[in-house]
Chains A and B, each alone.
Chain A
C-alpha cells in the first residue's frame, strides 16, 4: 500500500515535469510557456512533499498529549514541507516577473509568439539596420 502511493506521487511529479518541459521548450505561445514552467515547479514541489510523506503516518504537529517517542516513529518528515513552502512562493514571484516582462514586450510587438518576440537579438538588430 505504501509503495503504491509513493510510486504514484513519483509518477505524477515526473509527468508534471515532463509536460511542463515540453510546453516550455516546444510551445510557441509565451503565456503557455510560462504556464508550462509553473507546472515544472509544481512537479518539483510535489516530489519533495512525497519525500516527507509517511504512509499511515500523522501530521507532524506535536501536541502535549502525545508521547514524543510514538510521535517520532509515526509523524511524517517535516523538513521537506518547510522547503516546499519557500519554493512555492519563489515560483509565484518568478511567474509574476515573467508575466510583467511579457506585458511590456506585447506592447512593443503586438503578439505573444516567441518566434517573433524572442528571436535571436543579433538578427533583430541587423533587420532594423
Chain B
C-alpha cells in the first residue's frame, strides 16, 4: 500500500495540530496521543516499498536529452527508511507513554512539539527533494527549541535561545547553498541533480558547486551537532527533560544521516567531501570523549558521549564504501536506541534523587537495582562490549576502515571506544557502587513503571540487534548498494 508513505508524515503532524487545538480536553488528548503513538511504529511496517509523488505528477522524460525529470515532491520509501522510521516511531511511543504516565496535567503544546519533531525527521528520511529537506530542517529546529524551552530545568530558556540563534544563522546559510545548487542545476529534486551531475551537464569542479557544498555542509554540522556545535548540542540534551532528551538525540542522529546521505549522493564525485566528513567526525570523536571525561553533571556527560558516537557514524559514511556506509548506518540505528536508554535511565535517577552531580551521588544500586543493571548494559553497549549491538556496529566500522587502507582510523576508533568505556564505568561506579555520601537523601519512591518498561523494551532491542545484526545490515547494505550505483 503505497498510500501509506505520505501518511507516515501526515499522521503525526495532524495529531500534533489536533493535540494543540484541543489541549483543553484533557481526556481526549491523552487518548489521541496514545493511539497515534501506537500507530507510529506500525504504519512503516505495513507500508510497501516504493515512491510517492505528491499531487500525482509522474516523472517526465525529456525527448531531446532523454533525462527523466521529477516535477513532484518525491518520497522514496525503502528498507533503510522503514527500519529508521519504525525505530523513531517506537521511541516516540515510549517517550509519549512516559510523559502521559508521569504527569497528572498533560500539556497539549508539549505533545505537539514531540509529534511535530517526529513528523519532521520522518519527512527528512523520506524526502528526495532538497528544499523539502530544508523546510523540515527548520521545523525540526523549532520543535527542538520548544522541547528544551518547555522543560523545568534551570537555564533551559537561555540554552534554547542560544540554540535558536545558532540555528537561524545556520539555516539561511544552508538555504544559500541550496540556492547555489538550484542556480547551476535548475532543479531541487535530488535524483535529477544526481543525473545532471553524472551526465556531465555541469562542471563538477566549478567553484560554485564547491561553495554550495561548503554552505550545505555548515548547515549539516549544525543539525548534527558536530564540532564546532558540540557544546551547544550536549547543552540542549542536558537542559531538556530526560524523556525529551531521549527523543532529541534521536532527532539529531536521524537528521544527521538523512542530510548526509543526500549530500553523499550529490557530492560523492568530489574527493574533498569525504575528507571533510572524516575530518569533522574524528574531531567530534576526540572532543566528545575528552569533554565527557571532565563533566560532573551526568546528563552533560551522556550528551558529550552521544556527540562522540556521532563521529563513528560520520566516519563510516566518510569512508564511502558500501560496507563502511552500512556500518555507519547500523551504528546510527544502535546509537538511537542506546542513547535513548541511557537518557531515560539517568532521568529515572534524577527523578529519585533530584541530584545531577556525580560527586554527590553514590550507593544507588541498593535502591534501584533494576535501573542500575539496565543502565550498565546500555553503557557497555555504547562502549562496544560483545555481544551487544554497539559491538557489532563498531566491529564493522573497524573492519571497514582497515579494508579502506586507514589503519590509523581503526586504531583511533578502538581508542575512543575504550575511552567511552572508561568514562561510563567511572560515572557508573561513582553513582551506583561507591559508598553513599551522608548528605545524600534518596527520596524513597519507586522509579515510574513506565520508565522501567521503556528501558526494558529498548534493552531487548539492543540485545536482539547484537545477536542478529544480519537482519538489519543485509537490508541496509542492499539500500546502500543502490545509492552507490
Q: Check if A94 sits within 8 Å of B142, measured CB to CB.
A: yes
**Contact A94 to B235, CB < 8 A, known contacts A86-B135, A121-B158, A124-B155:** no
Total number of B residues with any Cβ neighbor in A under 8 Å: 36
Contact mask A99-129 → B, CB, 8 Å, 1/0? Answer: 0011011001000000001100100110000
Contacts of B141 in A (CB 8 A): 94
- Taking a contact as CB atoms closer than 8 A, the residue among A21, A37, A80, A93 that contacts B142 in the complex is A93
Q: How far is the CB of A55 from chain B (nearest CB, A)?
A: 15
Residue pair B168, A48 in contact (C-beta under 8 Å): no
Contact flags B148-167 to A (C-beta < 8 A → 1, else 0):
01000011011111101101
Q: Is the CB of B188 within 8 A of A79?
A: yes
Contact residues in A for B182 (Cβ distance below 8 Å): 48, 51, 79-80, 83
B39-50 vs A, CB cutoff 8 Å, 1 = contact: the mask equals 000000000000
- Cβ-based interface call for B175 (8 A): yes
Chain B residue numbers with a CB within 8 Å of A91 are: 172
Name the residue of chain B whose CB is nearest to the CB of A86.
B135
Assembly CA distance A23 to B16 (angstroms) = 35
B301–chain A nearest beta-carbon distance, Å:
13
Q: Does B169 contact A (CB under 8 A)?
A: yes
Q: Scoring B residues 249 to 287 as 1 if CB is less than 8 Å from chain A, else 0, what string do you get?
A: 000000000000000000000000000000000000000
CB neighbours (8 Å) of A79 from chain B are: 182, 186-188
> Does residue B176 face the partner (Cβ distance < 8 Å to A)?
yes
Within 8 A of B (CB), among A60-108: 77, 79-80, 83, 86-87, 90-91, 93-95, 97-98, 101-102, 104-105, 108
A44: chain B residues at CB < 8 Å are: 172-173, 175-176, 179
Bound Cα distance A24, B161 (Å) = 13
CA distance A17 to B177 in the complex (A): 13
- Inter-chain contact B149/A101, CB cutoff 8 Å: yes
B172 touches A101 (CB 8 A): no
Complex contact A121–B155 (CB within 8 A): yes
In the assembled complex, which residues on chain B have CB atoms less than 8 Å from the CB atom of A37? 165, 168-169, 172
Main secondary structure of the interface of A (DSSP, over half): helix
What residues of A have a CB within 8 angstroms of the CB of B142 in the complex? Answer: 93-94, 97
Contact residues in B for A17 (Cβ distance below 8 Å): 172, 176
> CA of A101 to CA of B187 in the docked complex: distance in angstroms?
37
**B residues less than 8 Å from A40 (CB atoms):** 168-169, 172-173
Give A17 to B187 CA distance when docked, in angstroms: 24
Task: Find the residue from B179, B182, B186, B235 having the highest chain A CB count within 10 A.
Answer: B179
B172 x A51 contact (CB < 8 A)? no
Question: CA of A44 to CA of B138 in the docked complex: distance in angstroms?
Answer: 15
Q: Measured between alpha carbons, how far is A36 from B437 in the docked complex, in Å?
A: 50
Cα A70 to Cα B161 in complex, Å, equals 51
Cβ distance A18 to chain B, nearest Cβ, rounded Å: 12
A105 touches which of B154, B157, B168, B178 (Cβ 8 Å): B157
Interface residues of B in 110-156 (CB under 8 A from A): 131, 134-135, 138, 141-142, 145-146, 149, 154-155
Are A94 and B169 interface neighbours, CB within 8 A?
Answer: no
Residues of A close to B173: CB separation below 8 A: 40, 44
Query: Whole-angstrom distance from the CB of B383 to the nearest CB of chain A?
Result: 25
Chain B residues near A30: list those with CB within 8 A.
Answer: 161
Smallest Cβ distance from B254 to chain A, in angstroms?
20
Task: Decide if A98 touches B157 in the complex (CB within 8 Å).
Answer: no
Residues of A within 8 A of B169 (CB): 21, 24-25, 37, 40
Cβ–Cβ contact A41 & B161, under 8 A = no
Does B183 touch A at the CB level, under 8 Å? yes
Residues of B within 8 A of A102 (CB): 161
Whole-angstrom CA separation of A101 from B131 in the bound complex? 27
Q: Please, which residues of chain B bring their CB within 8 A of the CB of A108?
A: 157
A53 CB to nearest chain B CB (Å): 11
CB–CB B175/A51 < 8 A: no
**Across the interface, do B172 and A43 meet the contact criterion of CB distance under 8 Å?**
yes
Q: How far is the CB of A17 from chain B (nearest CB, A)?
A: 7
Q: Name the 9 nearest CB pairs between A and B, nearest first.
A: A44-B172, A101-B161, A48-B179, A40-B172, A44-B175, A51-B183, A121-B155, A37-B168, A41-B172
10 contacts between A and B (CB under 8 A): A24-B165, A25-B169, A33-B165, A40-B172, A43-B176, A48-B182, A79-B188, A101-B149, A118-B162, A125-B155
- State the A residues within 8 Å of B (CB): 17, 21, 24-25, 30, 33-34, 37, 40-41, 43-44, 47-48, 51, 77, 79-80, 83, 86-87, 90-91, 93-95, 97-98, 101-102, 104-105, 108, 117-118, 121, 124-125
B: which residues have CB within 8 A of A?
A: 131, 134-135, 138, 141-142, 145-146, 149, 154-155, 157-162, 164-165, 167-169, 171-173, 175-176, 178-179, 182-183, 186-188, 235, 239
